[in-house]
Amino acid sequence: MNDWINLHALWEIVVFGLLAGAGLPALFAVGLRFLAMTRPGSPGPAAAGANGSGPAPDAVVGGSTVGMVLAGICFVIVVAAIGWGIYFIVLSSH
Amino acid sequence: MANDILLALVVVTALAFDFTNGFHDTGNAMATSIATRALSPRVAVGLSSVLNLVGAFLSLSVAATIASGLVSTGEVTVTVVFAGLVGGIVWNLLTWYFGIPSSSSHALIGGVIGSTLAAAGGSAVQWKGLFSKVIIPAGLSPVIAILVATAGTWLVYRISRNIRAGTRNHGFRIGQIGSASMVSLAHGTNDAQKTMGVITLALIANGTLNSGASAPLWVIVTCALAISLGTYAGGWRVIRTLGKGLVEIESPQGMAAESSSAAVILLSSHFGYSLSTTHVATGSILGTGVGKQGAEVRWGVAGRMASAWLLTLPCAALVGAASYGLATLIGKPWGVIVDLVLLIAVAATIYLRSRGTRVGQDNVNAEWEGTVTETRAPAAAPAAAA
């Protein structure tokens, strides 16, 4: 049967496919979650913007410094993975 | 002289196939971004077109790989290549007319196998190679794509369920555009290479190039331009089916679908499987419907597509074989010219018929009413979008 299907490659495509194809968007979502974090002490997202002290509900960044740093780390990993993907395309075609 | 004319006709036909490949597959990368309005239709096809062009140039050493391991290359003549291309083009145009995202690679492979069968009989086709390299991967790839996209969608929704609307909308829009761009790039690399391979194959069959030679620069440039122009033309009927017909898509789903497609396509080509980007993209979009709670997946539409996928190889093969039969019946070079005239007539007929039920950037996102061409009258004046 292995003549017909390369089970080893299939297994690797599934595992790495899940890591890159599902893991990276999940990491991106984690980054967004950090980005939306509000400063400690400011009202939660539900009340934000209502009394003028928190960010407006349509603001992209929540305002927490720690959140922004953590978000930055997530986004750097995602961008690095994409860069590696492009490098991979160039490499595998030579 | 007759051989030179024949070769020139094959090159032109191959570029025409490349063009249909481009517009047939625009939706693989961009349908989700168009459906969620992350990008306007025109910007989406423009971006995809540029990235396909760039992607085509990323692959610099191209050999005549499309037929190797599938047919005995010794039996491949210039006429066989030509007839195979005719089969591929006719199938691509027919499926585009019905708005069915079917595989351009399968159409091409089917066409070449059909014309080889007609030319040299069943022994010239490597049936085992056909199964292990084409048919089995084609069956598995949508399943893997569904799995990856389902997992990705579920995770993304779970993680982002209660973050502020501003971050969510803006963030996923960027994520969606980024991931769709990766699919466009991968498409340019994979699919433009196939036509480059076909032209190289014809040049080798004609004796212009030595066997084992790689594609000359002019082949790379013309193929890159043809697929890029085709992408820009935008196969709106197919985009509509993928973006609106299967699942109602939101930005997070779009991002999950395109990430899954990009990952599966790139990984598979790394392991030497020349997959159909269409099968992967369709599987991914279905997966985002499965992974999101409460999303409606139109399995009927998916079933219609799957049956078209089963028909792709035999139907393209039939047209390829008929086209080869006619070409040899009439003889060189007139047989090929008659084929070409017939092909142009078929293409013109399909195009004219499509005008009656036109799908364009103005109505590509209209509410889905069961088929690609049944659209509610757009509420806004369509002239504004044109």
Output the DSSP codes for B162-220: TS-HHHHHHHHHHHHHHHHHHHHHHHHHHHHHHHHHHHHHHHHHHTSS-TTPPPPHHHH
Q: Do A93 and B155 touch (CB under 8 A)?
A: no
pLDDT band at B150 (very low <50, low <70, confident <90, very high): very high
Residue by residue, DSSP assigns B297-361 as B-HHHHHHHHHHHHHHHHHHHHHHHHHHHHHHHH-TTHHHHHHHHHHHHHHHHHHHHHHHT---T
- Choose the closest CB to B164 out of A18, A62, A90: A62
Q: What is the pLDDT of residue B210?
A: 81
The token pair that represents B242 in the structure block: 């993928």
Nearest to A28 among B163, B175, B273 (CB): B175
Q: For the segment B49-64, what is each residue's pLDDT rounded down to a tens digit? A: 999 999 888 865 544 4
Please determine, for residue B311, whether its predicted confidence score (pLDDT) is greater than 70.
yes
Mutate to test the interface with B, among A8, A16, A32, A78 (most CBs of B within 10 A): A32
**Residue A81, min C-alpha distance to chain B (Å):** 11
pLDDT at A22: 94
Q: Which residue of A has its CA nearest to B176?
A: A25
Complex ipTM > 0.85: no
- Asked if residue A49 has pLDDT above 50, the reply is no
pLDDT > 80? residue B313: yes
Residues of A in contact with B186 (CB under 8 A): 89
Pick B4 or B288 by higher pLDDT.
B288
Look at residue B206 in the predicted model and tell me its pLDDT.
85
pTM: 0.86
Nearest CA in chain B to A27: B156
- Per cent of chain B over pLDDT 70 is 94
> Considering only CB atoms, which chain B residues are within 8 Å of A13?
144, 264, 267-268, 271, 273
Alpha-carbon distance B55 to nearest alpha carbon in chain A (angstroms): 9
pLDDT for B328 beyond 50: yes
Q: Would the CB atoms of B271 and A4 count as touching at under 8 Å?
A: no
pLDDT at B376 over 80: no
Short-list B318, B307, B255, B257, CA closest to B282:
B257
pLDDT confidence of residue B60:
53
pLDDT bin (cut points 50, 70, 90) of residue A55 is low
Residue B212 pLDDT class (50, 70, 90 cuts) = confident
Q: Which of B13, B25, B27 is nearest to B249 (CA)?
A: B27
Q: What is the pLDDT of residue B115?
A: 94
pLDDT at res. B297 = 87
Highest mean pLDDT out of A2-11, B214-223, B313-322: B313-322
pLDDT for B122 beyond 70: yes
CA distances from B211 to A56, B69, B202, B215, B274 (A): 66, 15, 11, 11, 21
Over 80: is that where the pLDDT of B205 sits?
yes
More confident residue, B67 or A79: A79
